[in-house]
């Protein structure tokens, strides 16, 4: 039975972590005037809170009507979320088993996620002052402050930032206003484009490579035909995938269609945004958490109004209100950063495909090393493939050489050997001597990754987490990378007063060794410590692009997507750092990361070289990477996954349990495990329940952690045990947190 739009009842999603949809009365003045996705203020419990109107509701029972509360008022004139996004969020909340209202609130930008009225966000402006051509200093002989301000302007070429003058001349802001009234100076504002710096822009190439031309033709044909389709753009590093994206977005814009471009890391946005700004100017909205709240809200509002049709952002941009969506691009689609680890635990790559399917749009998944899930979808005929096997301008792929650390870095008698092997030092010296740039990659922050006592062997661990503390020399602190607990490095072992050894290698130590070995080199470091905000990150990348830095040391932030033509040498300082993780994806992620960072070399006119330092060169991931053999690696890894029953041949879900009291947490985990086991389908269905068992990292932030793993042939096969877990949640101790993670990205 259809429900009239002016029904006196409505289904509402509550912006709280509560499951289900709630029925509310609709005041007579609002009946027929609310739209799906519109923010409303509602009473919930003893407070007013944020809600989202979903749809008119049919008449509830007379008994229920007596208890119904009424929507208080709308918080905006029109719906914040489009019908398309409401449908996508409904799917995500159901698939990932998360409260719908909380999912909808999380999709909102800052300023719209709270129980208050939305406000129009204004652009950040920068003001310029310019002297008019006929400005005469002589007329200001009796006004020294005005004379000084105009003199300054004329001395710097006639135009300068107002902020610059204020720093140079106290009171200059008021003085400039007086000069403007006299007609001697003009004042004008300019919108600040966050995330763009000189050196990060790139012009339109005169022509495409034959492979690019074929890829663009195939994609534009699919776009012109309309309807949903998914392509894997499998291109080696430096093959020009970004230019293919740009041409496709151009075509979509010509047709009046919107485009959504997702990248995995904030570190990738400055260069990509620079290229898109160079091509499309103000038609770009940028969405990621490192921007100021006001800027994110403004870009979101521009998209919602249809003023801007192209959104570029990280995984949370999957909720961007791009109208008339025609193209969705997921760059570096293999990257684990597309999986959200908090609250709604969605996989943005997968939701991108779902969103495009609902919108009838074209999806492009780009990667040099596609995920095994994507390769399996290609094999099953769900995705089509376009291949870029050669670099732009037929530049050669970098040569890759191994430095076997078992031979090149033997341990000295009483001290840890240097990080830089002799072969690496020689290669850096040669590269710097030619005026070229170097990237050194190590996926560990800090100076020393663990500190232990030389006498009793006790390592210094975090009191709240089951991990070793990392020594950060720049901060003069021991830091836990899980809870950020910090303390001073003691002079001696707290347990036996023995001397302490600093072992393990982090980016700070690599940076220090490079600076000591090459005193004339300009060395920069790119990790979460050095680039703690978007402005610092963007400026650091821009400085490297302008060749103001010779050697860039960094974590995975340097590994992906960047295009620096001056880089001819890349070194993987320690290739084995992620191989030993207790995760079935460890080898795949190691191969992805090594290949990506190697691809930063030789993207300009000069050939590139890659050195890979390893203690385990015979491991599958390292050995295949040394020979650029992705096909061989993928084939063997898929064979292993199939034999062991891991994705992409099974679907997975994980129940994570954590609490302050170890015994209560363990008992809760066992209770959940028993309830889930009772709902397992017959053994012939192929569903397996692993656990409950302590998590690999059994203690984080002072909390004990357990987990239960479900594996089965389909998501539907997992429904029974997951339903049982969800049904039990209200009965569990309030001190224990239970999280359902469908399609988990990591096993830790």
* % of the chain residues with pLDDT over 70: 94
> How many domains are there within the chain?
6
Higher-pLDDT residue of 742 and 450 is 742
488 exposed, middle or buried (CB, 10 Å; 0-12, 13-18, 19+)?
Answer: exposed
What is the CATH classification number for the domain harbouring 67? 3.40.1440.60
Confidence of residue 473 (pLDDT cuts 50, 70, 90): confident
- pTM of the predicted protein model: 0.84
In whole numbers, what is the pLDDT of the chain averaged over residues? Answer: 89
Task: Report d(CA 54, CA 76) in Å as an integer.
Answer: 15
Clarify whether residues 16 and 58 are in a common domain. Answer: yes
Domain end residue (candidates: 359, 375, 392): 392
Confidence of residue 326 (pLDDT cuts 50, 70, 90): very high
Give the per-residue pLDDT at 415: 57
Domain end residue (candidates: 599, 617, 641): 641
**271-285, 513-527, 665-679: which has the minimum mean pLDDT?**
271-285
Clarify whether residues 435 and 531 are in a common domain. Answer: yes
Give the per-residue pLDDT at 747: 87
- Is the per-residue pLDDT at 106 higher than 90? yes
Clarify whether residues 224 and 304 are in a common domain. Answer: yes
- Is the per-residue pLDDT at 58 higher than 50? yes
Q: Would you say residue 471 lies in a domain?
A: yes
pLDDT 10s digits, 589-644: 999 999 999 988 988 889 999 999 998 899 999 999 999 999 999 999 999 999 99
Q: Would you say residue 114 lies in a domain?
A: no
Clarify whether residues 27 and 154 are in a common domain. Answer: no
Q: Would you say residue 170 lies in a domain?
A: yes
Task: Report d(CA 86, CA 101) in Å as an integer.
Answer: 10
**415 has which bridge partners?**
none
Domain that holds residue 169: 125-191
Give the per-residue pLDDT at 328: 98
pLDDT 10s digits, 683-741: 878 999 999 999 988 998 899 999 999 999 999 999 999 999 999 999 999 999 999 99
Q: Would you say residue 381 lies in a domain?
A: yes
Clarify whether residues 528 and 671 are in a common domain. Answer: no
Clarify whether residues 460 and 436 are in a common domain. Answer: no
- Is the per-residue pLDDT at 1 higher than 60? no
Clarify whether residues 728 and 624 are in a common domain. Answer: no
Quickly tell me which residue has 């209770």 as its tokens. Answer: 671
Q: Would you say residue 197 lies in a domain?
A: no
DSSP per residue, 656-680: EEEESSHHHHHHHHHHHHHHHHHTP
Clarify whether residues 572 and 609 are in a common domain. Answer: yes
Task: Report d(CA 76, CA 748) in Å as an integer.
Answer: 42
Please check whether residue 114 is in contact with residue 50, taking contact to mean a CB–CB distance below 8 angstroms. yes
H or E stretch covering 690: strand 688-700
Q: Would you say residue 521 lies in a domain?
A: yes
Give the per-residue pLDDT at 416: 62
Give the per-residue pLDDT at 196: 46
What is the CATH classification number for the domain harbouring 180? 1.10.10
Higher-pLDDT residue of 648 and 579 is 648
Higher-pLDDT residue of 73 and 576 is 73
Give the per-residue pLDDT at 197: 46
Clarify whether residues 367 and 484 are in a common domain. Answer: no
Clarify whether residues 227 and 301 are in a common domain. Answer: yes
What is the CATH classification number for the domain harbouring 581? 3.40.50.300
Give the per-residue pLDDT at 659: 96
Q: Would you say residue 545 lies in a domain?
A: yes
Task: Report d(CA 617, CA 463) in Å as an integer.
Answer: 35
Clarify whether residues 99 and 32 are in a common domain. Answer: yes
pLDDT 10s digits, 230-284: 999 999 998 999 999 999 999 999 999 999 999 987 766 667 777 888 888 888 8
Task: Report d(CA 325, CA 310) in Å as an integer.
Answer: 9
Task: Report d(CA 364, CA 388) in Å as an integer.
Answer: 14
How much is the average pLDDT of 288-305?
Answer: 85
Q: Would you say residue 120 lies in a domain?
A: no
How much is the average pLDDT of 303-330?
Answer: 95
Clarify whether residues 496 and 526 are in a common domain. Answer: no
637 to each of 237, 563, 578, 647, how far by Cα in Å?
A: 21, 29, 16, 11
How much is the average pLDDT of 445-459?
Answer: 77
- Is the per-residue pLDDT at 655 higher than 60? yes
Domain end residue (candidates: 579, 613, 641): 641
pLDDT 10s digits, 183-222: 999 998 876 554 444 444 566 777 899 999 999 999 999 9
């Amino acid at each position: 039975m259809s429900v009239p739009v002016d029904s006196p009842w409505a289904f509402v999603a509550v912006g709280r972590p509560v499951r289900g949809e709630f029925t509310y009365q609709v005041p007579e003045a609002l009946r027929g005037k609310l739209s799906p996705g519109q923010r409303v203020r509602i009473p919930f419990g003893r407070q007013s809170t944020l809600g989202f109107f979903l749809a008119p509701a049919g008449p509830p029972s007379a008994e229920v009507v007596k208890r119904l509360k009424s929507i208080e008022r709308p918080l905006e004139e029109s719906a914040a979320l489009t019908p398309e996004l409401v449908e996508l969020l409904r799917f995500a909340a159901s698939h990932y088993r998360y409260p719908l209202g909380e999912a909808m609130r999380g999709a909102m930008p800052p300023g719209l996620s709270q129980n208050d009225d939305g406000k129009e966000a204004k652009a950040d402006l920068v003001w310029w002052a310019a002297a008019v051509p006929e400005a005469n200093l002589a007329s200001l002989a009796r006004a020294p402050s005005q004379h000084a301000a105009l003199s300054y302007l004329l001395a710097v070429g006639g135009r300068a930032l107002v902020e610059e003058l204020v720093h140079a001349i106290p009171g200059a802001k008021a003085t400039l206003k007086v000069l403007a009234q006299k007609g001697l100076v003009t004042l004008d504002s300019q919108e600040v484009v966050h995330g763009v710096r000189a050196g990060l822009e790139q012009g339109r190439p005169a022509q495409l490579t034959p492979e690019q031309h074929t890829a663009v033709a195939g994609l534009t044909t699919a776009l012109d035909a309309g309807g949903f389709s998914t392509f894997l753009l499998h291109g080696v590093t430096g093959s020009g995938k970004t230019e293919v994206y740009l041409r496709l977005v151009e075509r979509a814009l010509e047709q009046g269609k919107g485009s959504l471009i997702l990248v995995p890391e904030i570190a990738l946005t400055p260069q990509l945004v620079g290229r898109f700004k160079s091509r499309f100017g103000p038609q770009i909205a940028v969405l990621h958490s490192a921007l100021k709240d006001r800027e994110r809200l403004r870009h979101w509002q521009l998209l919602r109004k249809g003023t801007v049709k192209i959104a570029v952002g990280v995984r949370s941009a999957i909720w961007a209100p791009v109208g008339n969506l025609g193209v969705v691009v997921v760059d570096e689609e293999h990257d684990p950063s597309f999986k959200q680890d908090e609250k709604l635990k969605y996989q943005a790559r997968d939701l991108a495909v779902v969103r495009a399917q609902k919108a009838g749009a074209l999806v492009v998944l780009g990667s040099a090393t596609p995920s095994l899930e994507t390769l399996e979808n290609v094999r099953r005929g769900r995705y089509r493939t376009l291949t870029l096997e050669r670099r732009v301008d037929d530049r050669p792929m970098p040569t890759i050489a191994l430095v076997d650390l078992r031979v090149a870095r033997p341990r000295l008698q009483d001290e840890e050997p240097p990080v830089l092997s002799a072969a690496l030092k020689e290669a850096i010296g040669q590269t710097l001597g030619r005026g070229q740039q170097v990237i050194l990659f190590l996926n560990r922050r800090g100076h020393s990754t663990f500190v232990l006592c030389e006498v009793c062997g006790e390592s210094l661990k975090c009191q709240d987490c089951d991990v070793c503390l990392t020594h950060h020399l720049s901060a003069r602190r021991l830091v836990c990378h899980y809870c950020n607990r910090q303390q001073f490095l003691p002079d001696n072992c707290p347990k036996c007063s023995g001397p302490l050894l600093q072992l393990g290698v982090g980016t700070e130590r690599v940076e220090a060794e490079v600076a000591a070995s090459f005193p004339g080199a300009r060395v920069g470091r790119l990790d979460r410590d050095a680039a703690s905000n978007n402005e610092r990150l963007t400026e650091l990348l821009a400085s490297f692009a302008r060749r103001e830095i010779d050697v860039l040391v960094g974590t995975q932030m340097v590994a992906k997507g960047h295009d620096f033509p001056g880089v001819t040498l890349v070194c993987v300082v320690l290739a084995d750092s992620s191989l030993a993780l207790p995760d079935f994806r460890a080898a795949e992620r190691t191969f992805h990361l090594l290949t990506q960072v190697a691809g930063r070399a030789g993207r300009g006119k000069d050939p590139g070289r890659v050195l890979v330092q390893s203690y385990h060169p015979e491991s599958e991931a390292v050995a295949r990477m040394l020979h650029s053999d992705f096909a061989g690696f993928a084939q063997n890894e898929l064979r292993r996954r199939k034999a062991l029953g891991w994705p992409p041949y099974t679907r997975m879900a994980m129940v994570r349990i954590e609490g302050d009291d170890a015994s209560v947490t363990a008992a809760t985990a066992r209770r959940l495990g028993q309830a889930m086991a009772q709902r397992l389908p017959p053994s012939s269905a192929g569903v397996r329940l692993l656990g409950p068992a302590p998590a690999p990292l059994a203690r984080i932030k002072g909390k004990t952690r357990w987990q239960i793993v479900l594996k089965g042939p389909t998501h539907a096969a997992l429904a029974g045990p997951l339903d049982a877990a969800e049904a039990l949640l209200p009965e569990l101790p309030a001190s224990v947190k239970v999280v359902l993670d469908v399609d988990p990205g990591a096993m830790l």
